[in-house]
């Protein structure tokens, strides 16, 4: 991965964290890494734990950012989420969900598309 793409990803994650906090979420952890995958953001809202995959783009040449979260990527994120949940008290959250956040860095503005329940276990 090039330095430019790494920086774009970091900037996207920072924007996503800012957006989540402004929307009332509590950030539990960022860049949670297992042997399966990295989860960009783990956040909580009320009794729900939210695993967030962030995809940032400066253009749509490679398609919509959410399209990069294909079945294989989803499977890896779910495995990493299961690993995280093993370290938590079983009653900490009643619900979990998997969201995708698309971050569009455009010349005049940054747009964020938060997609709750983007994919499910099973």
Given a cut of 90, is residue 67 above it in pLDDT? yes
Residue 115 lies in a domain: no
Q: Name residues whose C-beta falls within 8 Å of residue 32's C-beta, 6 or more positions apart in sequence.
A: 38, 39, 42, 80, 84
Given a cut of 80, is residue 63 above it in pLDDT? yes
Given a cut of 90, is residue 92 above it in pLDDT? no
Residue 116 lies in a domain: no
The span from the CA of 91 to the CA of 24, in Å, is 21
Residue 121 lies in a domain: no
- Region 86-114 average pLDDT: 90
Residue 102 lies in a domain: yes
pLDDT tens, position by position, 6-62: 888 899 999 999 999 999 999 999 999 999 899 999 999 988 999 999 999 998 888
Residue 122 lies in a domain: no
Q: Which domain holds residue 28?
A: 3-109
Beta strands at 48-57 and 95-105: parallel, antiparallel or unpaired: parallel
Which CATH number covers residue 65? 3.40.1350.10
Dihedral Cα 82, 84, 88, 92, nearest 10 deg: -70
> In the chain, where do the E strands start and end?
26-33, 38-45, 48-57, 95-105, 110-119
| Whole-prediction pTM | 0.93
Structure confidence at residue 5 as a pLDDT band (50, 70, 90): confident
Total domains in the fold of the chain: 1
Residue 117 lies in a domain: no
Residue 20 lies in a domain: yes
Give the three-state DSSP class for 104.
strand
């Amino acid at each position: 991965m090039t330095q430019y793409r790494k920086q774009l990803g970091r900037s996207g994650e920072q924007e996503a964290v800012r957006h989540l906090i402004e929307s009332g979420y509590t950030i539990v952890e960022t860049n949670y890494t297992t042997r399966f995958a990295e989860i960009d953001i783990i956040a909580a809202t009320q009794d729900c734990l939210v695993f967030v995959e962030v995809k940032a783009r400066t253009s749509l040449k490679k398609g919509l950012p959410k399209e990069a979260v294909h079945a294989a990527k989803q499977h890896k994120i779910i495995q990493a989420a299961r690993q995280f949940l093993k370290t938590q008290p079983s009653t900490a959250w009643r619900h979990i969900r998997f969201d995708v956040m698309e971050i569009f860095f455009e010349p005049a503005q940054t747009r964020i598309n938060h997609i709750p329940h983007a994919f499910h276990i099973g």
